[in-house]
Structure 1
Amino acid sequence: MGVIRMTQKFAAHVTPDRMFKALILDSNNICPKLMFSSIKSIEFLEGEGEVGTIKQLNFTEASPFRYAKHRIDALDKENFTCKYTLIEGDVLMDKLESITYEVKFERYGTGGCVCKMSSEYHTIGDVEIKEEDIEAGKDRAIGLHRDGCVLELKSDVLEPLDDEGIPAARKAHNLKEFSCPIAPSRMFKALILDSRNLIPKLVPQSIKSVDIIQGDGGAGSIEQVNFTEASHFKYVKHRIDALDEENSMCKYALIEGDALGDKLESIAYEVKFEASSEGGCICKMTSKYHTIGEVEIKEEEIKAGKDQAMGIYKIVEAYLLENPAVYA
């Protein structure tokens, strides 16, 4: 049996005790309500939530999986730490015996926290796991921890210098790629061309509406995303800078909104969907953060934006899998 270890972390504007209660102690109630598009229910098979308890996650028909069983191995309510193991389910496919997770929430800044997650993939024999399989698991975990609690945070990965020699305090870049079983044209239509109609329907717990306040939806148009009262933010405005339907590519910029805080002037994004040999697509996302003056952005402050985007992308992916005729 082989073991593959992974670690990751993200910052949140929520206290450790609240995150721990929502995502660990009361996850069986809150997660199906907030992630209804992918999780149907979470039920106790053994125990009542203490160490040794076994829970079963039942996924919706939109999910590529049916169920997963977790066993709670350690629970430290005082230090907001939990260790649990995925012991059964089609999520393990035919390559894994189990996956062990350890989650810890630590105080960060004023009223926030840092979530640290480590995972160990225990393979069957000497079977090899592809990197994209691990990345998909990480994205699902991040999506659950972020979208399940309706957190909207500014984040990405910093580099020391950009290609223009500008210090990282002035610009931050990130490139993210992931594979998807949906054709590029359908993903582009759902996530770009018709996002103002589709996204509020799929994530009503966090996005109230998306309105066009200038233009007709083409290049030069400005859209306003209005968040619900459950959100940490009120609104953001995006400007569409380029739209190439033939090549399934879009460039846009976040130009206004409380999500920018007092450190960012804007955030520029480029999204492109390319056909893959398996019949789906490869989504390539690039983001560039433009800071105000020489202000410094800490990595912990800006490390979760791509994960939030991934959470929405996965929800849309599940919806399109469940509804093959939509945007066909």
Structure 2
Amino acid sequence: MGVFTFSEENISAVAPATLYKALVFDGDNLIPKVVDAVQSVEILEGTGAPGTIKKINYLEGGQLHYAKHKVEAVDKDNFVYNYTLVESDTFPETLDKIVVETKLTAAPNGGSVVKVTVNYVTKGDAKPSEEELKIGKQKGDGLFKAVEAYVLHKVEAVDKDNFVYNYTLVESDTFPETLDKIAVETKLAVAPNGGSVVRVTVNYVTKGDAKPSEEELKIGKQKGDGLFKAIEAYLLANPSYN
């Protein structure tokens, strides 16, 4: 048996308690919504505590695959979550299991330091290939970034028939202390010239009686306009986009 250990740290703009809740306690419902490849998460045994066995069903290469995930440790006070991938139909023959240890700590900016240690446990003297390590890291990073983005940007409404998209910015390390959240409502309509009329309503929800400053409103508008113009420019440069 061989054990090959890899560790890394990343910084998230999301506070530890919020990120931990999304990843651990809401993850079974949230992950299939935010990660396109994941079709479902089933609990085969247990209630979420250590010893619980979960089955993750996901698409890869157009085929449906699965991985079984055993919960090893849940420590919500210290933001620790450890689990083992004990079985998967995509495991190479040389791989026995993958043990993942995750710990969140508070970052100076109000976000989180995310430390992840991954132990590849192989059969005999086998070593995981560079490609296996690369794919494993990409999957882990993709899942984390999808959950982080969802927490920072909560989708409220999607109406493709009426071109409505509403979302809420619920957290950011650049929010002033007086700001609770920003709710954005977007509605597109057909313009006489064949283009679009874009109506955006932004609601700044503040704490107490605070009011957003003129500078905060100006910066928020600049960011929104910049994003919109970048998307518009891409679409105009790629008229076949559909």
TM-score with structure 1 length normalisation?
A: 0.46
Opposite residue 49 of structure 1, the aligned amino acid is G
What is the CA–CA distance in structure 2 between the aligned matches of 1:114 and 1:63, rounded to whole Å? 35
Partner of 1:84: 83
User: Retained in 2: the 8 A contact 1:45–1:56?
Assistant: yes
Opposite residue 137 of structure 2, the aligned amino acid is K
Q: Which runs of 4+ in 1 moved over 6 A?
A: 231-234
Which consecutive unaligned segments of at least 5 residues does structure 2 have? 159-164, 173-181, 183-221, 225-240
1:65 Cα deviation (Å)? 5.8
1:83-106 deviation per Cα after TM superposition (whole angstroms, max 9, x unaligned): 110001123221210000000111
What is the CA–CA distance in structure 2 between the aligned matches of 1:78 and 1:47, rounded to whole Å? 21
User: Retained in 2: the 8 A contact 1:34–1:149?
Assistant: no
1:230 Cα deviation (Å)? 4.8
Partner of 1:3: 3
| Aligned-pair identity (%) | 35
1:150-186 deviation per Cα after TM superposition (whole angstroms, max 9, x unaligned): 1699xxxxxxxxxxxxxxxxxxxxxxxxxxxxxxxxx
Please give the secondary structure, in 1, of the residue aligned with 2:23. Answer: helix
Opposite residue 41 of structure 1, the aligned amino acid is S
Which consecutive unaligned segments of at least 5 residues does structure 1 have? 154-203, 209-225, 235-256, 260-326
Question: Which structure carries more relative contact order (alpha carbon 8 Å, separation 6+)?
Answer: 1
Please give the secondary structure, in 1, of the residue aligned with 2:149. Answer: coil
1:110 Cα deviation (Å)? 3.5
Correspondences of 1:84-163 after superposition (within 5 Å): 84-150=83-149
Opposite residue 85 of structure 1, the aligned amino acid is T
What is the CA–CA distance in structure 1 between the aligned matches of 2:87 and 2:123, rounded to whole Å? 13
Please give the secondary structure, in 1, of the residue aligned with 2:133. Answer: helix
Partner of 1:54: 53
Correspondences of 1:248-327 after superposition (within 5 Å): 258=223
1:130 Cα deviation (Å)? 1.3
Please give the secondary structure, in 2, of the residue aligned with 1:133. Answer: helix
User: Retained in 2: the 8 A contact 1:151–1:231?
Assistant: no
1:105-128 deviation per Cα after TM superposition (whole angstroms, max 9, x unaligned): 110124211111000001111223
1:287-310 deviation per Cα after TM superposition (whole angstroms, max 9, x unaligned): xxxxxxxxxxxxxxxxxxxxxxxx
What is the CA–CA distance in structure 1 between the aligned matches of 2:10 and 2:121, rounded to whole Å? 24
1:61/1:140 Cα in 2 relative to 1: closer, same or farther (>3 Å)? closer
User: Retained in 1: the 8 A contact 2:67–2:85?
Assistant: yes
Please give the secondary structure, in 1, of the residue aligned with 2:56. Answer: strand
Please give the secondary structure, in 1, of the residue aligned with 2:87. Answer: strand
1:26/1:232 Cα in 2 relative to 1: closer, same or farther (>3 Å)? closer
What is the CA–CA distance in structure 2 between the aligned matches of 1:138 and 1:227, rounded to whole Å? 32
Partner of 1:27: 27
What is the CA–CA distance in structure 1 between the aligned matches of 2:60 and 2:135, rounded to whole Å? 19
User: Retained in 2: the 8 A contact 1:150–1:231?
Assistant: no
Partner of 2:233: none
1:228 Cα deviation (Å)? 5.2
Partner of 1:13: 13
Q: Which has the larger radius of gyration?
A: 2
1:110/1:63 Cα in 2 relative to 1: closer, same or farther (>3 Å)? farther
User: Retained in 1: the 8 A contact 2:15–2:111?
Assistant: yes
1:249-302 deviation per Cα after TM superposition (whole angstroms, max 9, x unaligned): xxxxxxxx759xxxxxxxxxxxxxxxxxxxxxxxxxxxxxxxxxxxxxxxxxxx
What is the CA–CA distance in structure 1 between the aligned matches of 2:112 and 2:132, rounded to whole Å? 28
